[in-house]
Amino acid sequence: MSFFHPGASRLSPEHTQIHIAYEFAFTIVDFSAALLFVVGSIFFFWEETTYMATWMFLIGSLCFSAKPTIRLLRELAFRRAGKTERLAAGYTPSE
């Protein structure tokens, strides 16, 4: 099975659990980045909070850069979960 296969999360119950855990992590990181950017944007309205706003933008950017890393780690976890080659042989897109 190739990386980023759309049906990977349905190969086994273990794959489904992996998918859920990594999607939760992805959502937390995504939400954190968005919150940091919104609050950072508000902080730029006042000169005395500009320094903090800059840090929030930097941390938010790091969160956004973590997103592809989380997706890659999920794919590697799918590979480690095993059974992918045997189960993928019986997988059809209509399932």
Half-sphere exposure of 41 toward its Cβ, with a 13 Å CA cutoff?
6
> Can you read off the two tokens belonging to residue 8?
């990977």
Considering only residues 1 and 8, tell me which one the structure prediction assigns the higher pLDDT: 8
Give the separation between CA 78 and CA 14, rounded to whole angstroms.
9
At 40-78, the pLDDT tens digits run: 999 999 999 999 999 999 999 999 999 999 999 998 998
pTM score above 0.75: no
What pLDDT is stored for residue 91 in this prediction? Answer: 53
At 7-23, the pLDDT tens digits run: 777 778 888 899 899 99
Alpha carbon of 6 to those of 2, 43, 64, 88: distances in Å? Answer: 10, 40, 22, 11
Q: In a 10 Å sphere around its CB, with 0-12 CB exposed, 13-18 middle and 19+ buried, how is residue 88 labelled?
A: middle
Task: Compute the residue count for the chain.
Answer: 95
